Structure 1
């Protein structure tokens, strides 16, 4: 490495890696990156070897590989990617990495020849993928877990390094992009009932250095959307509800469980991997001090530095039955589902009362002969859609008060047309 390349790599190392992941950094000027797949025990003994710039794990063939590509292309000193350890039998990121190196991606950014689940690199640019394939030689030693064998092979790679990658043939190539971009959102908000699922999914991890839970929201096409950081599961879940990113009961329950696991792992130094049981970490980590005992959730006043104790989510009520509707008196609060049969005014509609199916009480409904007349106002909260979707044939869940003329004054309206159905 000449002096110019040395200065360049030294400057890169000051801010590298550029994106978070399950890895440890060795010598940023080293030519070897080690991907141990799902074998965590290989990371510590390999990252300290001469010539190893970074060693880490990967679980998925989309986001996981994306982060590997971003970090490698951000450091032109890396010329080899060594794949070792146990591959995930479902996601197959190891096989997908090899396929990426050999075949690249198609027009939809799907890795050609990848056998992994959803191997789409949605946020990578063509230039990043092109540089990755030119910059590093991928060595497929999947299944190898013998540290001594790997040590010997890494030594051989170090000895034959071609030097810093030259993007244009003359100077060291710099990073093309800095990684994923998220809009920051804060934890906190009011707990509200959940019924239906939002579009997109969530990835939960721990930032041990900052002692925080990191929750990232992606759209269905894997585009980064939002990021939230916090220490309390309840506060973070409420923040998602406040932002309208979670509306399905099953999804909310799942996220609550995973965030509670992440909080426990952060407090007690356990290893946390999403969708997997908590277990002891193979690497010593700093633990958080547990919060002081409290007598009730009303008395608890968490601070930014004190993790919250996970609270049980309230049960979600089913819509009222026909019998409950018929017995509701003037001024009573009602929560019901209907199918609009007529728009009888600018903000008034008539519909058929629907009763929940026993097997799918939130997604399937049966029509009745009972007619409902309802009126909404500009102050009515509309969820899962816009006012223009209130039309003949639409399915709505409405809550409000019923007056002496049996007119329902709608306070909240959820548009169910795209997520629920009427069954015979």
Structure 2
């Protein structure tokens, strides 16, 4: 109990159980802040780092960045349910056009997952949480209220959201069309510790949705240095152009731009790169099929 008689729980020594790109603040705070990361680790804009610092200064329990709609969300969920004092999750920062993690987090809290552990209603390419037991997902959804601040880069709004969650009496807070009545309801029972041990990077295979992959860019299109550009351009043309409308002329990409997008594909496990050989993974093939269907 705190001085006002509100139930608060000391987090376990193992908290937070998962490593990540976040900072730890006040363990007894009722809110964590998730800043969407839509760029490379080495190119993080100062504005995003400032959002994290503002959240910590305002009193959040955890504040950090989220980049992917699967393993990234899984790690975040594990860290939040390990601290039952956290009752709110504010999701802010400009939406990532590739992973759409903001939309995925909001959909997870509001709609949950289906029998294949795919986040219901999420627009992201691969929003699977196969490494989380349903018990952990259920607990997260019961414990956490999501504050949808997606696309918000205003530090004052993020700070206000954090401070409103601290209030003993219900306090009005709104962003765009969303209206909230915020206050600190106290801890949600006891901590639930879950650490990801076995990481499934291609959950649809574990669920039996597709046959075992043959490493492919069609017929195992291993591309040597002189063919690499052609092969990746072909893939980018079929996938990234459909998914990112700004890539109007794939063949006009410079080597730097091509390597940039190739790096993003690798980070999302859509391609594997070994020296000068580039191969599309089964996850990449799956994404291509999804986008082909959406485009058609």
Q: TM-score range by the shorter chain?
A: 0.5 to 0.7
TM-score of the two chains, using structure 2 as the length reference: 0.58
- Output one character per residue of 1:313-348: Cα deviation in whole Å (capped at 9) or x when no partner: 9889xxxxxxxxxxxxxxxxxxxxxxxxxxxxxxxx
Q: Which segments of 5 or more consecutive residues in structure 2 lack a partner in the other structure? A: 38-47, 168-182, 207-220, 229-261, 265-273, 280-296
**How far apart are the structure 2 equivalents of 1:147 and 1:41?**
8
| Mapped partners of 1:222, 1:54: distance in 2 | 31
- 1:250: how far off? 6.7
Where do residues 167-182 of structure 1 align in structure 2 (5 Å cutoff)? Answer: 172-175=189-192, 177-181=193-197
Counterparts of 1:356-367 in structure 2, within 5 Å, are none
Counterpart of 2:109 (choices 95, 101, 104) is 101
Distance between the aligned counterparts of 1:315 and 1:62, measured in 2?
28
Query: SS at the partner of 2:137?
Result: helix
Describe how 1:383-398 pairs up with structure 2 within 5 A. Answer: none
What is the aligned residue count? 194
Distance 1:149 1:314, change over 3 A: closer
Q: Identify the structure with the greater strand proportion.
A: 1
- Residue 87 of structure 1 aligns with which residue? 95
SS of 2:9's partner is: helix
Shift of 1:9: 2.9
TM (norm. structure 1) is 0.41
**TM-superposition CA deviations, 1:55-81 (whole Å, max 9, x none):** 011111111111111111111010000
Q: Distance in 2 between matches of 1:155 and 1:137?
A: 15
Match of 1:61 among 47, 66, 69: 69
Contact residue 122 and residue 223 of structure 1 kept, 8 A = no
The residue number in structure 2 matching 1:349 is none
Quote the Cα distance in structure 2 between the aligned partners of 1:146 and 1:30.
21
CA contact (8 A) 1:123 1:222 kept: no
1:156, distance to aligned residue in structure 2 (A)? 0.8
Structure 1 residue 101, shift from structure 2 partner: 0.9
Indicate the residue corresponding to 1:46 in structure 2: 55
1-structure distance, mates of 2:195, 2:61:
18
CA distance in 2, matches of 1:62, 1:70: 13
Contact 2:98 2:124 in 1 (8 A): yes
Q: For the residues of structure 2 that align with 1:103 and 1:88, how far apart are their CA atoms?
A: 20
Which position in structure 1 is the counterpart of 2:202?
A: 220
* Structure 1: gaps of 5 or more residues: 166-171, 183-216, 225-247, 255-273, 277-312, 317-359, 363-424
Q: Matched residue of 2:58: which SS?
A: coil
Structure showing greater radius of gyration is 1
Q: What's the counterpart of residue 275 of structure 1?
A: 263
Q: 1:11 to 1:92 in 2, by over 3 A?
A: closer
Rounded Cα–Cα distance in structure 2 between residues aligned with 1:223 and 1:64: 19
Distance 1:112 1:121 in 2: 11
CA distance in 2, matches of 1:133, 1:219: 23
Q: Give 2:78's aligned residue.
A: 70
Higher helix share: 2
> Contact (CA 8 Å) 2:11, 2:83: kept in 1 or not?
no
The alpha-carbon distance between structure 1 residues 250 and 15, as it changes in their structure 2 partners (threshold 3 A), is farther
Query: Match for 2:187 among 149, 164, 170?
Result: 164
Asked whether the equivalents of residues 73 and 105 of structure 2 are also in contact (C-alpha less than 8 Å), the reply is yes
Label 1:315 to 1:135 Cα distance change in 2 as closer, same or farther (>3 A). closer
